[in-house]
Amino acid sequence: MKRHIFLVVMLIAVLLASGCGTELKEGTVVCAQWQDGGWYLATITGSEGNNYNVDYADGDKGQVTREQIKLIPENPSVKVGDRVSGVWAVARFYDGSVDAVQDDGIIVRWDDGSDPSFVAYGQFIKLEGSSQAAPVQPQSTPSTTEVSDGDVPAGTVACIEWQGGSWYLGTVTGKVDDKYNVDYADGDKGQVARSGIRLIDPKPAVNTGDKVFAAWKDYRFYPGTVGEVKDNGVIVKWDDGDEPLLVEFGHFIVTE
């Protein structure tokens, strides 16, 4: 009898170690995959069969399988130099290395060259082994006829290139030699050449069906199509299948 009990206990231990016995309860905060292949901070809101309903921290909702969920340790053992995947800005996880350990979180030095930033416990996962680079959203470069070689005055809000080749909403704050200082809308700062700035027409002629390059919630520009024109902007149907979103005038470029 004792032998049978021992075997049952061992079986349960193996299941728990493999994650098969882990129950994802409503309200659990996790790292969940989105349609673009990226991983985002999310909260479990329920389950339907083998799928879980999640509310993403950036406002989206979705349904994922268990394989598309990573549990987040509340207070993992971590040290300087460890590889992690942590929440940057609003919700998305990116890879980096621990630069410092603090009482309530860590400072992460990001792989993409962004300025190191604080990530609280419960918002990062320790990576084992080699780097696991964050998936990159396919990004098209805006083609507009308004780009010129002329100077861009301080205070101009524009579509500005970031280090990784992506484009973000930003404001020109000055010029040093042949480089422009910019404040990105997500809080970063940088310096770019004139070729890394795309001017934005504050009230362009735009129609339903036009192709646009528009700022999403994270201020990054993504391609899409105008679904409807409103008084204060346009409803954009995103090429990646995300839910249509109102983008105000001054936050998009008409590309076709």
Q: What is the pLDDT of residue 24?
A: 83
- Across 113-127, 132-146, 158-172, 238-252, least confident range: 132-146
Spatial separation of the C-alpha atoms in residues 242 and 37, rounded to whole Å: 12
pLDDT higher than 70, residue 147: no
- Residue 114 inside a domain? The answer is no
- Output the pTM of the full model: 0.48
- Residue 15 inside a domain? The answer is no
- Residue 245 inside a domain? The answer is yes
Domain total in the chain: 2
Last residue of one domain, picked from the residues 46, 71, 96: 71
Give me the CATH number covering residue 57. 2.30.30.140
- Residue 189 inside a domain? The answer is yes
- Residue 242 inside a domain? The answer is yes
More confident residue, 21 or 107: 107
* Per-residue pLDDT tens digits for 184-236: 998 999 999 998 899 999 889 999 999 999 999 889 999 999 999 999 999 99
- Residue 101 inside a domain? The answer is no
Q: What is the pLDDT of residue 10?
A: 53
More confident residue, 11 or 63: 63
pLDDT higher than 70, residue 153: yes
Spatial separation of the C-alpha atoms in residues 68 and 203, rounded to whole Å: 41
Spatial separation of the C-alpha atoms in residues 30 and 33, rounded to whole Å: 10
How many secondary structure helices (H) and strands (E) does the chain include?
Answer: 1, 20
Q: What is the pLDDT of residue 180?
A: 94
- Residue 61 inside a domain? The answer is yes
Q: What is the pLDDT of residue 164?
A: 65
Spatial separation of the C-alpha atoms in residues 21 and 68, rounded to whole Å: 16
- Residue 200 inside a domain? The answer is yes
Domain boundaries, position 217: 157-254
